Each structure stands twice: as C-alpha cells, then as structure tokens.
Amino acid sequence: MMDDTANSGKTASFGFREVPEADKEGLVKGVFSSVAARYDLMNDLMSAGVHRIWKDAMVEWLNPRPGWRSLDVAGGTGDIAFRIADMARSRGGEAAITVCDINADMLGEGVRRAAEKGETALDWVCGNAECLPFPDSHFDSYTIAFGIRNVTHIDAALREARRVLKPGGRFLCLEFSKVEVPGLDTLYDAYSFKLMPRIGGVVAKDEDSYRYLAESIRRFPPQAKFASMIADAGLEQVKVRNLSGGIAAMHSAWRI
C-alpha cells in the first residue's frame, strides 16, 4: 500500500529547503544524531556560554516546586531537567521529572550525563512532541528549550502540550527568535551563516547540520506570531520575555 502522507504533496521547511512533509522528522533526527556527542560543547562555543544564562532564566521563571510533575520535551541532554531538579531540591523536596525526546542518541547523552552527576530522579522517554505518550492532564509543567522549531507541525505540538498539562499547569518555551535590536540583527546573521557552520565543521565534523540549525532559526515564527499560535492551541495568559535583544525569547502560558 502506498503512503498517502508521503504522496500528498504537502511540504515542510527543513532550514531554507522545502521537503516532503513525511521526510522532515527523519531529516531532523539525522541532524541531532550527528551532533549529539558534541551538542553541549557546541552550545558553549557558539553562544560563549550565554545559553546557560538563558536556561537559568527559563527555570527561574518556571519557579518549580517540590512535588511537581514536570515534563521537559526535546530535552535529551538534560540541561533543563537537571536545573528543575536542583531548584526543587533547593526548596526542600523532589520534583518528578520526565525528559521526552524523539532522538535516542540525544537521550543517551542525557542518561550518560545523569550517571556522571549521580542524578537518579529523572525518567527518560523516547517520544514525539506531536503525539506524546502520556495521559491527559498529567503534568504541572511543560518545558521545551530550543526544540519546538524542529517539529514538523508546531500547532500539533502546542495542542499536545495543553493536553498533557493539568488545569493550572504551566507551559514555558525557550527558543531562538527574531532579533529586535537594530544593528544586532546584521551581526547575528553574519555570525549564524558564516561562522557557526564553520565551527560545526571543525568541532562536530558536521558543517551541514549547523547550517540547518541556523536556517531553522530564521524560519521560526517571530515572537508575536508564536504567541498567537500558543493562544490558538488553547493555552492562556501568554507572555513573552526577550533575551539578548531577541536572539532568544521565552514564551509562558497556562492551561486554565
């Protein structure tokens, strides 16, 4: 039987290219399988460590509490989950944290890092953001950092976020966004398209994957548009905070 999806004529963006919609998931998996072993090192090199400040800001805004059930999607290497666990403990208790990522290689890096840290409180689940393997109204918080721009159907991922959140649950997304400081946008473009792929080629031995990552940032909706998409998915009280002039942005919302 022929795959109707593959032959529907629908396309999805893969960086600046349009590819058959059914192919995008596999292409994205290939990118992250290629860079998984050097992913955290590359984040440090590419951002001069600023990504750590952004992630700290995200978890501080989330304000996790002991006893929460927290879901971190596309969080394979554990960066956000470890921070949530640490903050919950600083407040006198544990949070039940699940890391869900579609890429087994990225999850493997997270499991390895957890073992190095002696962190045993996290569950690691291989799953798709567009069809999460969790029941309705299950989590107190849903976080996703630098992952939602890589899904094929962002609207479907947002609807899934709402579905798995409890009433009163918090949605928080950290993602690259549209630079809003005049002049900084020009510098950022030059860095993204000229220097970043070269660094990827030298350190991760994969220039093409880092070219895709730069292109995927430019294809992602700007702050106001993404806020509207979150609201359209049924999440409420949407708020936006820019980081570093809009290089990244945090979007917060609630399931009411």
**What count of other Cβ atoms lies within 10 Å of the Cβ of residue 108?**
17
- DSSP β-bridge partners for residue 66: none
Which domains, and CATH codes, for the chain? Answer: 33-181+210-254 (3.40.50.150)
For 224-253, give one letter per residue: b (16+ CB within 10 A) or e. eebbebbeebebeebebebbbbbbbbbbbb
3-state helix, strand and coil shares in percent for the chain, rounded to the nearest 5: 50, 25, 25
pLDDT in tens, 77-124: 899 999 999 999 999 999 999 999 999 999 999 999 999 999 988 999
- DSSP β-bridge partners for residue 250: 174, 241
pTM of the full structure = 0.90
pLDDT in tens, 40-70: 776 777 777 899 999 999 999 999 999 999 9
